[in-house]
Amino acid sequence: MAEEASFTKAAARLYVAQPGVSAQVRRLEQELGQQLLDRSGRTVRLTEVGAAVLSYARRALDGVAGMRLAVDDFTGLMRGRVSVGMVRSCSSLDLPELLADFHQDHPAVEITLAEENTDRLLDALRNGALDAAVVALTTTTPPGVDLHVIADESLVVAVNASNPLADHAAIAVDKLRDQSLISLPRGTGMRACLDQACADAGFEPRVAFEASDPNVLAELAVRGLGPAIIPESLAALRSEELHAITVTSPWFRGRMALAWRADGPVSPAARAFVEHARAVLPTPNASSPTEQPA
pLDDT digit string, tens, across residues 18-30: 777 778 878 887 8
Say yes or no to pLDDT of 13 above 80: no
Read off the pLDDT of residues 165-192 as tens digits, 9 standing for 90 and up.
999 999 999 999 999 999 999 888 888 8
pLDDT-wise least confident of 32-36, 157-161, 206-210, 281-285: 281-285
Say yes or no to pLDDT of 274 above 90: yes
Q: Residue 284 — pLDDT band, cuts 50, 70, 90?
A: confident
Judge whether 187 and 117 are in contact, CB under 8 Å.
yes
At position 70, the amino acid (one-letter code) is A
| 3-state secondary structure (DSSP) of residue 5 | coil
At position 99, the amino acid (one-letter code) is L
The CA-based diameter of the chain, rounded to the nearest angstrom, is 74
From the number of C-beta atoms within 10 Å of its C-beta (0-12, 13-18, 19+), residue 252 rates as: buried
Q: Residue 52 — pLDDT band, cuts 50, 70, 90?
A: confident
Alpha helices in 38-163 (DSSP H): 48-75, 95-105, 118-126
Q: Summarize the confidence of residues 258-280 as an average pLDDT.
A: 89
| 3-state secondary structure (DSSP) of residue 23 | helix
Residue 137 sits at the vertex; the CA angle it makes with 132 and 140, to the nearest 5 degrees, is: 110
Alpha-carbon gap, residue 136 to 259, rounded angstroms: 10
Read off the pLDDT of residues 241-264 as tens digits, 9 standing for 90 and up.
999 999 987 778 888 899 999 987
Share of the chain above pLDDT 70, in %: 85
User: Which of 6-10, 87-91, 235-239 holds the top average pLDDT?
Assistant: 235-239
pLDDT-wise least confident of 35-39, 192-196, 211-215: 35-39
Q: What pLDDT, on the 0 to 100 scale, is given for residue 72?
A: 60
| 3-state secondary structure (DSSP) of residue 31 | helix
Alpha-carbon gap, residue 3 to 23, rounded angstroms: 18
Residue 195 sits at the vertex; the CA angle it makes with 147 and 188, to the nearest 5 degrees, is: 45
Residue 164 sits at the vertex; the CA angle it makes with 198 and 171, to the nearest 5 degrees, is: 40
When comparing pLDDT for 13 and 183, which is higher? 183
Say yes or no to pLDDT of 74 above 60: no
Alpha-carbon gap, residue 137 to 122, rounded angstroms: 10
Q: What pLDDT, on the 0 to 100 scale, is given for residue 192?
A: 87
Alpha-carbon gap, residue 76 to 195, rounded angstroms: 49
Q: Residue 293 — pLDDT band, cuts 50, 70, 90?
A: very low
Q: Residue 290 — pLDDT band, cuts 50, 70, 90?
A: very low
Q: Summarize the confidence of residues 255-279 as an average pLDDT.
A: 89
**59-72 per-residue burial string, b: 16 or more CB within 10 A, e: under 16:** eeeeeeeeeebeeb
